[in-house]
Structure 1
Amino acid sequence: MSFFNSIFGNSENADAPKSNVNWIELTDIAQLMEIEAISNAKPVVIFKHSTRCSISRMALKQFEREYDLNETVDAYFLDLIANREVSNEIANKFSVYHESPQLILIKNGKAIYDVSHSDIDAVALKEKV
């Protein structure tokens, strides 16, 4: 355990709340074709997260606590700092303006719902699914 972890705690702490989301990591542009195809049979959500932004972290944690759509929606998680080219292609392919944090719902190959920052809400998403 590092010195800082012993003083401030480890973010991987067993007492930390667990995510309710069965995330699929989005790291490759080719996965966007997969998402488009899957969305014809099942809704797909993409969460674009900036690991450098505290607002993004807060939106993610709140979303993860409220989320209960694992049986009906495939959820993809994009670390947009590590995968900027994927983030740019999402904006292009699904005709959405890039924001961070951002939640995008894809159905039948098209983005039908797109929110960012404090508008990211798992309950509102459930109404759109």
Structure 2
Amino acid sequence: MSIKQLHTIEDLQQFVQQPGKHLLFKHSTACPISAKAYEEFQAFVKDTDISAAVVLVIEDRPVSNKIAEEFGIKHESPQIFFLEDGKVRWNASHWKITRESIKEALNK
């Protein structure tokens, strides 16, 4: 499954409003911790058919800010959200983002 990059608030709203399960990743292109977490995220998505998207927090800051505002979850990067029918079911940040943690969250 490919990872869609969200550039606008409209992109974000369309992604979140889709029915079903989705993963949303906030990535800082300037952070080595984020780079490692993004590798874990990409590796997980590659082996599944789950819908997935990424927001680059520096390049698309308004979208990143909207995520924190909409979900009521403090901004961090890297940060991942498991969404189901538009609701956040799980989120994690920094070193807690691993293939295994994502797998566990989706199987709860």
Q: Normalising by the residue count of structure 1, what TM-score does the alignment of the two structures yield?
A: 0.74
- Alignment partner of 1:37 is 2:17: yes
- Distance, in Å, in 2 between the alignment partners of 1:74 and 1:63 is 12
Q: 1:86-105 counterparts in 2 under 5 A? A: 86-105=63-82
> Where is the helix percentage greater, Structure 1 or Structure 2?
2
Tell me how large the CA RMSD over aligned residues is.
1.5
Alpha-carbon offset, residue 122 of structure 1: 2.2
Cα distance in 2 for partners of 1:30, 1:63 equals 23
1:80 partnered with 2:57: yes
Larger of the two Rg values belongs to structure: 1
Q: Find the counterpart in structure 1 of residue 8 from structure 2.
A: 28
1:112 deviation in Å?
1.1
Q: Percent identity?
A: 33
Amino acid paired to 2:92: V
- Residue 57 of structure 1: how far off its partner (Å): 0.7
Partner of 1:17: none
Structure 1 alignment gaps of length 5 or more: 1-20
| CA distance in structure 1 between the aligned counterparts of 2:58 and 2:102, rounded to whole angstroms | 24
Residue 9 of structure 2 aligns to a residue whose secondary structure is coil
SS in 2 for 1:99: coil
Show structure 2 runs of 5+ residues with no match: none
- Structure 2 Cα separation of the partners of residues 50 and 97 of structure 1: 15
Higher relative contact order (CA 8 A, sep 6+): 2
So what's the TM-score if we normalise by structure 2? Answer: 0.87
Please report how far the alpha carbon of residue 33 of structure 1 lies from its aligned counterpart in structure 2 after TM superposition.
1.9
The equivalences for 1:1-129 within 5 A come to 22-38=2-18, 40=19, 42-67=20-45, 68-69=47-48, 71=49, 73-129=50-106
1:126 offset after TM fit, Å? 2.1
Superposed displacement of residue 63, structure 1: 2.9
Secondary structure of the structure 1 residue equivalent to 2:102: helix
